[in-house]
Each structure stands twice: as C-alpha cells, then as structure tokens.
Amino acid sequence: MTAASMRQEVIANNVANVNTPNFKKSVVEFEELLAREIYGEEDDGKLKLARTHDKHLPYKPLEFRAEPTITQDNSTVMRVDDNNVDIDIEMASLAKNQLYYNALVTEFGGHVSKLKNAITSGQG
C-alpha cells in the first residue's frame, strides 16, 4: 500500500508538471523488485524454499528488502521543450493505480476483519 500511495503522489506530480519545460517524469518501481526478492534473479516462477518446522531441511530465511523507489525517466522526450510527460499515459496510470490501491485496502480490511473475528469468537 505504501508503494501505491507513493505512486499516486508521483503521478500527481507528473500531471501537475505536464506543461513545465524540461520536466522529466518520475516512476515508482516496486513490484518488479519484490518479485525478484521472492523468486530470485532467475524468476522461474517458483517460490524459494520455506522452512515451517525445526526438523525440516535447513534453508536460508527469506529477507525481503524490497523498498519502493522513485526513478526519473530521462529516456524519452514528448515535446520540443524536453518535457516527457504524456498526459494520457499518466491519467491511465492514475486510474490503474487507484484501482490497485482500492483492491489492496479491501483485501487488508478483510484480513483485519478475519483476525478480529478470530480474536473475539466465543465471546458474547
């Protein structure tokens, strides 16, 4: 949710600077970094081994260090004033990110609701 929130701010900044000469858009990278953390560099679609019992085979614990990062896109130019913000792409990204964020909030709310139900079940 942090990455989606950060992405919303970055897209809003890009939209706000759509007419600023020499402005270069920024993007938030997170999902690709997280996938590399989970699946490894080879990205074969298989999860790394997870140990769930002391008598299971030894393994290296999964340590997720993926953090959302903001990078500037200097590779493209949209107009003669060196601005590279395409308002149509930004608005589509904004809508997609809003849907993504709403889905995360809904899922998280369901998880919290289940935890609350498990904690309070049997009490009445």
**What is the model's pLDDT at position 62?**
59
Cross-strand partners of 69: 29
Q: Answer whether residue 57 shows pLDDT above 80.
A: no
Sole residue written with tokens 């909030």: 105
Q: Which residues contact 87 (CB under 8 A, 6 or more apart)?
A: 15, 18
Between vectors from CA 24 to CA 92 and to CA 37, what angle results, nearest 5°? 70
pTM of the model: 0.73
Average pLDDT of span 51-66: 70
Is 41 a residue whose pLDDT tops 80? no
